[in-house]
Structure formats: C-alpha cells, structure tokens
C-alpha cells in the first residue's frame, strides 16, 4: 500500500515571509504613478486616450484604475502606469 507523504512543515516559511515583510515593506504605493482627474465625459475620454498614447499599455501597464460618474456629465477617474518601461 502506497504511503501518502506528510505535508511539509510551514513554520519556517511563515518566519521567512514575516522577516521579509519586516525588512522590505511593500512598495505598492510607489510602484505605480497615479493621477486622478475630474472632467466632462468627452474630455475624460480624450485624457485617457492621451495617457494610453503617451505610455502604451504593453510597456507601462497603463490602465484606468477606477472611475465613477458624477452629477451632470462629469467623470472622476484615476489613471495608473509604471514610472518607466524598464
């Protein structure tokens, strides 16, 4: 009868992850360049296109991170991209 191997102990991995998090806090806020805009709908589309043309998605991971429609025809949105294509 084949014996099922026991699960590996995870305590060492937990300690290693905790040490890494202490020594190198997350850089997620610094990893991306973000800019928030509040524009009329057609101007908002033009601004988003401008970002995608200036910083192509494939190289800079450019994206509309969030958006919401406000009163009238105004859109508030946040664009996000990497600081460089490297």
- In tens, the pLDDT along 45-61 reads 999 999 999 999 999 99
Is 12 inside a domain boundary? no
Residue (of 67, 71, 72, 70) closest to 47 by Cα position: 67
**21-48 residue pLDDT tens:** 777 665 555 689 999 999 999 999 999 9
User: Could you give the number of structural domains in the chain?
Assistant: 1
49 located within any domain: yes
Give the model's pLDDT for residue 20.
Answer: 75
> How much is the pTM?
0.64
62, part of any domain: yes
Angle at 48 between CA 86 and CA 36, to 5 degrees: 85
In a domain, 79, yes or no: yes
Question: How many angstroms separate the CA atoms of 84 and 5, rounded?
Answer: 46
Question: Does the residue 3 lie in any domain?
Answer: no
**Position 56 in a domain:** yes
Residue 13, domain member (yes or no):
no
């Amino acid at each position: 009868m084949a014996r099922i191997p026991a699960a590996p102990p995870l305590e060492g991995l937990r300690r290693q992850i905790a040490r890494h998090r202490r020594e190198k806090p997350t850089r997620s806020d610094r990893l991306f360049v973000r800019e928030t805009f509040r524009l009329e709908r057609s101007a908002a589309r033009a601004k988003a296109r401008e970002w995608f043309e200036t910083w192509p998605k494939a190289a800079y991971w450019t994206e509309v991170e969030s958006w919401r429609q406000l009163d009238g025809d105004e859109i508030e949105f946040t664009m996000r991209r990497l600081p460089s294509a490297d």
